Structure 1
Amino acid sequence: MTSSTSPRRRLAVALVPMALFVALVALLVFGLGNDPRKVPSPLVGKPVPEFRLPELTDPSRSVTDEDLRGRISLVNVWASWCNSCRAEHQALMALSESPDFQIVGLNWKDDAGDANRVLRMTGNPYDMNGYDPDNTVGIHWGVYGAPETFVVDHNGIIRHKHIGPIDRTVWEETLQPLIAQLKAEQ
């Protein structure tokens, strides 16, 4: 800076990096304070996106958006490589015994052989399982990662999105009351 620069101008130039630093720290604190499982989905309250996927265990069959009409559905996004999906698997197996809803898998960015091997070894909680290796359908559902679970009502409307594994707390505090409400609405 030249000697002709005023002290006020030098102070303003010196404060710019400090203001940027404070703004970045504020954004970091804000971001760390948010729960990533509470990312709002623009699809909640809207019909499920149209789709057609091969059925994972029987590629001659298809899984479509029409399969999500007529009864309550839990659409569970999962993959064989996903550790959190493995953690929630036993909960899904227990839930699969309920007559109140169907569990529809969306096998996401996976290898069909690996996925089928996991289901053979650990059990298959899914009434049907769409195979989406290239994220063709996942992108239209706004999938961020696995596991994610969507609650779809009997009219094919997405009513809730849960990011992360389903465990006892998620079931008892969120999903079970919502399913009871949806059943009462039928």
Structure 2
Amino acid sequence: MAKISPLMLAPPLIFGAFAVLAGIGMFREDPNALPSAREGQTAPPIVLTEFPGKTLFDDATLRDGEVKLVNYWASWCAPCRVEHPNLQTLSDEGIPVYGVNYKDQLDNAETFLTELGDPYRAIGRDEKGRVALDWGLYGVPETYVIDGEGTVILRFAGPITQRVIENTIRPALEKAAGQ
């Protein structure tokens, strides 16, 4: 009988491992959702640079007893432009929306808000992206639902659409309010 080389076993074993991982991924609740290590945990400290002419928010704001959204955005982000009217709608409904301008040029960010409106109750700048790293940001836009004690209830990566508001954001806001 021929002796089987360990090198001959490697390809089928590697293929099997990939098949198992793919199978696990297919049976996740939402295969498009990016995992968040922050959900259910206290929001990381937030120390931002002032956005001239705007109210700055800080770590204490996240724990002020009020349910809120924290939205990471940038003027160079096309999906941020798409979601912006929906953030304005939520803000107009009285939902506090706080903005973090991510790795952006100040003049471009100011033009963005002048053109599209400012839905943010307060806003700060994360010029180097250090705060975003602590929050586990994948990219912009990204929105977090925070309960009144500063716990992350939901992290949503991608633009907030009407469907996302109804199916994802509103249920998370209700959950945050009920805690």
Q: TM-score, normalised by structure 2?
A: 0.84
1:113-142 Cα deviation digits (max 9, x unpaired): 111111101111111111001012111111
User: SS state of the match for residue 98, structure 2?
Assistant: strand
Q: 1:157 to 1:121 in 2, by over 3 A?
A: same
Which amino acid in structure 2 is aligned with residue 141 of structure 1? W
Q: Does 1:153 align with 2:152?
A: no
Q: What is the count of residue pairs matched by the alignment?
A: 176
Q: 1:183 to 1:115 in 2, by over 3 A?
A: same
**Corresponding residue to 2:118 among 124, 138, 149:** 124
Which amino acid in structure 1 is aligned with residue 39 of structure 2? V
Confirm or deny: 8 A CA contact 1:54 1:63 kept in the other structure.
Answer: no
| Structure 2 unaligned spans of 5+ | none
Match of residue 65 from structure 2: 70
**Corresponding residue to 1:182 among 171, 176, 179:** 176
Match of residue 16 from structure 1: 10
Confirm or deny: 8 A CA contact 1:79 1:146 kept in the other structure.
Answer: yes
Confirm or deny: 8 A CA contact 1:52 1:62 kept in the other structure.
Answer: no
Match of residue 55 from structure 1: 50
Match of residue 96 from structure 1: 91
Q: CA RMSD in A?
A: 2.5
| Structure 1 unaligned spans of 5+ | 1-5
Q: Does 1:80 align with 2:66?
A: no
Alignment partners' CA distance in 2, 1:36 and 1:84: 20
Alignment partners' CA distance in 2, 1:134 and 1:29: 35
Deviation at 1:163, TM superposition (A): 1.1
